[in-house]
Amino acid sequence: MLLHADHLTIKFGGLTAVKDLDMQLNKGELVGLIGPNGAGKTTAFNMITGVYAPTQGKVLLEDKDITGKKSPTAPGMRPDQITALGVARTFQNIRLFTNLSVLDNVIIAHHLHLKSSLMGAVLRLPGYRREEKEMREKAIQVLKAVGLEKLYKEEAGNLAYGQQRRLEIARALATNPKLLLLDEPAAGMNPQEGEELMQFIEAIRKDFDLTILMIEHDMKVVMGICERIYVLDHGETIAQGTPNEIQTNSRVIEAYLGVDASA
């Protein structure tokens, strides 16, 4: 098992945003996380990546505890430490470094593996220069994989919307993750772009040997590529299973369409 979200519960004041989420991802799986607005999907992502610390429960990555910190001095992992262990993510509202070049956006993701010291970097010692060259080459490779290599000099903020989404995924890939969390990658895309995205996600899963957990509203995308699906509603896990099981699950239909008052 690659990731085990062990009975996660998080409360914000009186509101229980996610209740008793128990999620298990096997290596190489592509799993969907769906649910109506406000169901707690992104909150679940934030707990896995250490942005929030769960009120109860633990997050285990390959049996190692990676639960986030409750406060800066509390025990637990910081988001950057979790990224270093191999969990990368994208964001629902694209969060690129808009004023930096496309290439710099990707190279930054290699910084966590940098061995040279600050002095080594400033004095451009041979060790640093070699590392910088390697980082650059790897970044170009990732950009090639997502088809953005020709735009490497462009400012990230100037890219088209779909390209920005790709760049965000490229940046996450550059951290060299085992687990990739995609938060609504198809948001704002037309059906054809959604189709391309599905193929793209399939391709990177193979090429980079990834396990993927994906939040998505576009049912065509979710049902098309996800092997298993978890459904959240008001913070509770109301269903899990294969796309076919989910499509016929009455509680899921209820959550999405509401209950017929006359029934």
Partner 1 sequence: MKKETKILAIIVTIGTIAFLFFANQFFDGYKIRIMNLAAINIILALGLNIINGFAGQFSLGHAGFMAIGAYTGALLTLSPSAKQMNFFIDPIISPLANFQMGFLPAIIIAALVTAVFAFMIGVPVLRLKGDYLAIASLGFSEIIRVVLTNLQSLTNGSLGLKAIPSYINLFWSWGFAFLAIIFTFFLINSSYGRAFKAIREDEVAAEAMGINLFKHKIMAFVIGSSMAGVGGALFASLLTAIDPNIFKFALTFQILLMVVLGGMGSISGTIVSATIVTIMMEWLRIVESPMTIGSLTIPGISGMRMVIFSVLLMAVILFYPKGFMGTREITWDFIQEKINRLRKKGKNETLQKDEV
Binding site for partner 1 (CB under 8 A): 49, 51, 72, 78-81, 83-84, 88-89, 91, 95-100, 104, 107-112, 114, 116, 118, 121-124, 128, 131-132, 135, 171-172, 175
**Nearest to partner 1 of 105, 211 (CB atom):** 105
**Nearest to partner 1 of 114, 259 (CB atom):** 114
Considering the complex, what minimum distance in angstroms separates the CB of residue 109 from partner 1?
5
Q: Report the chain's C-alpha Rg in angstroms.
A: 19
**Nearest to partner 1 of 82, 225 (CB atom):** 82
Cα(252)–Cα(108) distance, integer angstroms: 40
- Helix ranges (DSSP H) in 156-231: 161-174, 191-207, 219-225
Considering the complex, what minimum distance in angstroms separates the CB of residue 10 from partner 1?
18
Query: In this structure, what token pair is assigned to residue 23?
Result: 């999620």
**Nearest to partner 1 of 80, 207 (CB atom):** 80
**Nearest to partner 1 of 33, 109 (CB atom):** 109
Residue 42 near residue 215, CB atoms below 8 Å: yes
**Nearest to partner 1 of 95, 144 (CB atom):** 95
Considering the complex, what minimum distance in angstroms separates the CB of residue 90 from partner 1?
9
Considering the complex, what minimum distance in angstroms separates the CB of residue 6 from partner 1?
22
Considering the complex, what minimum distance in angstroms separates the CB of residue 252 from partner 1?
30
- Helix ranges (DSSP H) in 17-159: 41-48, 79-85, 102-108, 118-122, 126-146
Q: Which residue has tokens 């959550």? A: 255
Taking the alpha carbons of 110, 28, 179, 26 in that order, is the dihedral positive or negative? negative
Query: In this structure, what token pair is assigned to residue 201?
Result: 């996600």
How crowded is residue 248: how many other Cβ atoms within 10 Å of its Cβ? Answer: 9
Contacts (Cβ under 8 Å, ≥6 apart) of 83: 49, 112, 175, 177
Partner residues linked to 257 by β-bridges: none
**Nearest to partner 1 of 102, 222 (CB atom):** 102
Considering the complex, what minimum distance in angstroms separates the CB of residue 251 from partner 1?
33
CA 82 to chain centre: 12
Considering the complex, what minimum distance in angstroms separates the CB of residue 19 from partner 1?
25
Cα(9)–Cα(235) distance, integer angstroms: 9
Residue at 6: amino acid letter? D
